[in-house]
Structure 1
Amino acid sequence: MLRATFRSIHHNGPKVFMSTSVKATTENAANEKKFQHYKNLNALDTTDTQPSDWNEARPFEDLPGPKPTPIVGNLWRFVLPKIGDFYGLDFPDILRRIREQYGDISILKGLLSGRPMVLLFNPKDFETIYRNEGVWPIRVGLPSLDRYREMRKDAMPSFGMPQHQGEEWFKYRSMVNPILMQPRNSLQYADKMNLVADELVDNIKFLVEQNNGQMPKTFTNELHKWSLESIGVVTLDKHLGCLKRNLDKDSETQKLIDCALQLFQLIYKIDILPSMSKFMSTPNWKKLIQVLDFMLQTNLKYINQTLDKLETKKLDEDEKSSVLQKLLKLDRNIAVGMSLDMMIAGIDTTGRVLAGGLYYLSKNPEKQAELRKEAVALLKNKDTPITKETLAKASYLQAVVKEILRLAPIGVGNTRTTPKNVVIGGYQIPKGIDVLTCNLVLCTSDEYFSRGKEFIPERWIPSAPKELSTKNTNPFIFAPFGTGTRGCIGRRLATMELQIAILKIVRNFELEWPHEDMVFETKMFYGIARPLELHVKSVNQ
């Protein structure tokens, strides 16, 4: 039934944008020409030839690392109390221990996936990986999403860009890059995101009054509502009403939030933890299908509402068109797929980073005060709108967001699969090997960032003292949105969302953290592991 519904929407919905736009036709032709060029390059890149220094390098089999045991491999190290040397440790701590024991390059074998993972801790090796990733970089996907995408491929062929590889990925990415990666296309949403941030501020004011200044244990749910509402104005051209007070737990918007959070919890249980879901239809797998189906159906409904509206009026000029309109002019299927991808990827992630950022600001009152000083200078009143011009002048805010992303990114590193034989760290790494650049370990290390575990936004300011400055830091270390052509396509929008929300919150409130230090953990994503029970009071000025 569901597949029939998807197929009906997919094939019978308005298609005027696929043929009526001359510019779209021209851009598609240009993309096809570019694709053919890179296809030819890729044919050269993915051969089995050996680099010139291959024979001087040590064999792949000599890579150091924890030795797997027969049958259970290295799994016992993670799951067995007392004897498992990684038991109870979060992933960044495991990586730090591996680095201490085995050095800047090692290998982790005997995992559930059956595929070994090479771990890198030297930024020069990070650079080697990216310089040799080829024109169609390969990033390991999630098996559960691959399986679901295969189930729905007839109805939703463009869904799941992060799972795409090779020619399929390049064709998709080359169409959406010019739209989502242009700063002017992101900045046009500053006004709408300002309104969303105002709604979040109003809700915080209400919570302050209701709880005598302390945020409830469920406060992060407000941040997820903010995140979903922000995504909605971009991907659906619609305010969803997520930040309405006393949102019904059975409402569509609350279900969307719940599904987005459940999604990655389920993926973690299915793909990361030991699970029979890889081999049979378990309760977790059935629940994952329900969650994804609800998210897809809901998004499709709103996208088609937008299509109906666009059919009845003349499209805006390109410089005024929304991101969704621009995507629709190029290809309706791409517009639907991109909207779904951004909705799935953006709720838990951006909300999680904002939560980490508010924690660090509350723990560092002097940095918070410095940001408020800038906020007051830029925003005369607490309800003064934030514009793209405001953001351009907010240099300390920009530094604050970078520092938040250094200490509290959503991922501990970035993965690639080698498309050809390459020498890394003096070892032969054959084609087809998964590699992880362990960025978070280096970002919090005094070796690369002075006082690396401290929250010091000044390090990102050009006039920073020499001992703090990041001017000479290897650019491949700080990569919260990835690097290269497979970097996060939504990074400009996500950064702007964070900047606007943080500036609005700090302009309106003083944040305090009268508790023990927050615990961070990795379960699919990195982030806070306990309720964000901030103490909040309104700013007088």
Structure 2
Amino acid sequence: MQTTRKLLIYSQWNKNVFHVVKHRSTIAAPVAQCPYADVATNDHQIIANRAKKEVVTEQYLPYSQVPGPKPIPILGNTWRFFPIIGQFKISDIATMSFLLNQVWGRIVKVGGLMGRPDLLFVFDADEIEKCYRNEGQTPFRPSMPSLVKYKGELRKDFFGDLPGVVGVHGEKWKEFRSRVQKPILQLSTVRRYVKPLEQVTNDFMTRCQTQLLDENSELPNDFANEIHKWSLECIGLVALDTRLGCLDGTLDPKSEPQQIINAAQFALRNIAMLELKAPYWRWFPTPLWTRYVKNMDYFVEVCMKYISQATKRLQASGGVGGALDGEPSLIERVLKEEKNEKLATVMALDLILVGIDTISMAVCSILYQLATRPEEQEKIYQELKRNIPDKNTPLTIQLLEKNKYTKSFIKEVLRVYSTVIGNGRTLQNDTPICGYMIPKGVQVVFPNLVTGTMDEYVSDASEFKPERWIKSEDNDSNLHKFASLPYGHGSRMCLGRRFADMEMQILLAKLVRNYKLEYNHKPLNYAITFMYAPDGDLKFKMTPRVE
């Protein structure tokens, strides 16, 4: 009887939290405290877990006492993701993260997942910081067993000792990253791409204005796909040293650019389906796994083709022949320094695989927030107008740096609506976290989407305030450095983060300086595909500014 009551309380609480989180269309509203949270956990330790933090110096509670949803025999907690009877949707991990925090507190164990280690959610920015600070030189990031199987087993003939950085760990990851990170992260290389990326963005703006707007000056229902085209054209320029032609009119569904977009979306958006549901694909080729492999093979083929073309251009030009008009491009630098086409191919593959959907979904979110926040958009416009009086002035890195409010707007969107809902690590040693001794091998999740909107770590967390990111004597906002980490932290931080930041800044500068963006339809909810982004048609109204 008591057990039934707890399950009913838990089920009703799940519905309430789902309702609150699902409708976070304007700001991350704090979720009401569950009045029966301590009862629902069936774990008396939750009381101590939510009490004032204490420093434990000699003794830690055992891992078995970490609170969280209890697994059942055979099915463990995997049943919670089943259709109809399950409590969580694969596409709604964001809601699940808020729910776990609200019901069980600052540390939550989700164990008993078929075919994978336990997941440990940590909602404490101080503890997250300790985990990052204490990791070694080769941190193990929980990653895509499906991609690991593809690179390490199915296509081991191709990847061999050069598997890349995505889905790779240990010394192989360290060696590969050390060989490619200097040219990717070097500011002098990144800054050379301002002009060519601005040209891509100009082409995108022209396409929007002349080909996409309807009679109401609104962009089409599938505008998210147009953003993907812009993103792929930018990444193709950086990673493959070529213009792919994504913005050349209406793409045929069978065209190479559209197939690349489709392949990237499929590969990333089905990872959760492959890895959170029962992983039958590990033992026999399911239809989903077969299509995943086909998509990955297509990626490898495309990357090999363009890297080979870059090598030929480099040889024919005597050293410089790529997209930067006389200066060595990223790919040319890697090819010249490493003299290894396969290394450059794998690097490009990783950049494209994780870059297209990530940047595209971030831009969808940024533009939606821009269009629904006229006051903030006006501030961006006035800043751009001050710094770029003539809207036809070519952008430079110096001009981009001056636009502090524009950059802060992007950061604030990524705080409140973090595109990547969480980072994580697989523990390589037994580690104390939140007063518990967590054993080696557990996968720890750091949910940015939750910690970035917690009052403990961000002043006025429920308010959308880009100003909080601008350092000044008047700004006394509390902002924990480890509460919002959209690109991760440490040696496994996103390799392409500087290019991603620059691409988004260029797009906002060109768009807002020249156009006013509005959204005049029913507010959109946010949902998970592979990323956290607005769920629905982005029918923005785009009006040229008259000065």
TM-score (norm 1): 0.85
Segments of structure 2 that go 5 or more residues without pairing to the other structure are 1-54
- Which stretch of the first structure deviates more once superposed, 124-133 or 205-214? 205-214
SS of match in other structure, 1:415: strand
- Which stretch of the first structure deviates more once superposed, 513-522 or 337-346? 513-522
Aligned counterparts of 2:91 and 2:365: Cα–Cα separation in 1? 20
Shift of 1:88: 8.8
Q: Which position in structure 1 is the counterpart of 2:333?
A: 326
Shift of 1:276: 2.8
Aligned counterparts of 2:136 and 2:296: Cα–Cα separation in 1? 32
- Which stretch of the first structure deviates more once superposed, 445-454 or 424-433? 445-454
Shift of 1:346: 0.9
The answer on whether the counterparts of 1:415 and 1:437 sit within 8 Å (CA) in structure 2 is yes
- Say which of 523, 531, 534 aligns to 2:537: 531
- Say which of 188, 192, 196 aligns to 1:188: 192
**Moved >4 Å (runs of 4+):** 52-55, 316-319, 464-467
Aligned counterparts of 2:203 and 2:505: Cα–Cα separation in 1? 15
Shift of 1:54: 7.7
- Say which of 295, 299, 304 aligns to 2:303: 299
Alignment of 1:24-423 (within 5 A): 56-79=59-82, 81=84, 84-86=86-88, 90-149=92-151, 150-157=153-160, 158-207=162-211, 209-316=213-320, 320-331=327-338, 332=340, 333-423=342-432
> Within the alignment, does 1:475 sit opposite 2:477 as a pair?
no
> Within the alignment, does 1:458 sit opposite 2:467 as a pair?
yes
The answer on whether the counterparts of 1:360 and 1:455 sit within 8 Å (CA) in structure 2 is no
Segments of structure 1 that go 5 or more residues without pairing to the other structure are 1-51
Shift of 1:75: 2.6
- RMSD of aligned residue pairs (Cα, Å): 2.2
Cα deviation 1:185-218 (Å, max 9, x = unaligned): 1111000110011011112212564342111111
Cα deviation 1:502-540 (Å, max 9, x = unaligned): 111111211112223221112332222212111221111
Shift of 1:117: 1.0
Aligned-partner residue type, residue 324 of structure 1? I
Shift of 1:171: 0.5
Q: Which position in structure 1 is the counterpart of 2:490?
A: 484
SS of match in other structure, 1:474: coil
Shift of 1:401: 1.6
Shift of 1:380: 3.1
The answer on whether the counterparts of 2:90 and 2:272 sit within 8 Å (CA) in structure 1 is no
Aligned-partner residue type, residue 437 of structure 1? F
After superposition, the Cα gap between the structure-2 partners of 1:212 and 1:491, relative to the gap in structure 1 and judged at 3 Å, is: same
After superposition, the Cα gap between the structure-2 partners of 1:293 and 1:88, relative to the gap in structure 1 and judged at 3 Å, is: closer
The answer on whether the counterparts of 1:65 and 1:106 sit within 8 Å (CA) in structure 2 is yes
Aligned-partner residue type, residue 361 of structure 2? R
Shift of 1:89: 8.2
Alignment of 1:3-14 (within 5 A): none
Aligned counterparts of 1:338 and 1:521: Cα–Cα separation in 2? 30
After superposition, the Cα gap between the structure-2 partners of 1:198 and 1:87, relative to the gap in structure 1 and judged at 3 Å, is: closer
Aligned counterparts of 1:77 and 1:198: Cα–Cα separation in 2? 47
TM-score (norm 2): 0.84
Aligned counterparts of 1:73 and 1:381: Cα–Cα separation in 2? 62
Shift of 1:446: 3.3
After superposition, the Cα gap between the structure-2 partners of 1:321 and 1:482, relative to the gap in structure 1 and judged at 3 Å, is: same
After superposition, the Cα gap between the structure-2 partners of 1:450 and 1:63, relative to the gap in structure 1 and judged at 3 Å, is: same
Aligned counterparts of 2:352 and 2:468: Cα–Cα separation in 1? 33
Shift of 1:53: 6.9
Aligned-partner residue type, residue 192 of structure 2? Q
Cα deviation 1:42-82 (Å, max 9, x = unaligned): xxxxxxxxxx978511111111111111112123333354x
Counting matched residue pairs gives 486
The percent identity for this pair of structures is: 34
Aligned-partner residue type, residue 463 of structure 1? S
The answer on whether the counterparts of 1:260 and 1:344 sit within 8 Å (CA) in structure 2 is yes
Shift of 1:275: 5.0
Cα deviation 1:413-440 (Å, max 9, x = unaligned): 1110111122111110122221011221
After superposition, the Cα gap between the structure-2 partners of 1:330 and 1:519, relative to the gap in structure 1 and judged at 3 Å, is: same
After superposition, the Cα gap between the structure-2 partners of 1:243 and 1:454, relative to the gap in structure 1 and judged at 3 Å, is: farther
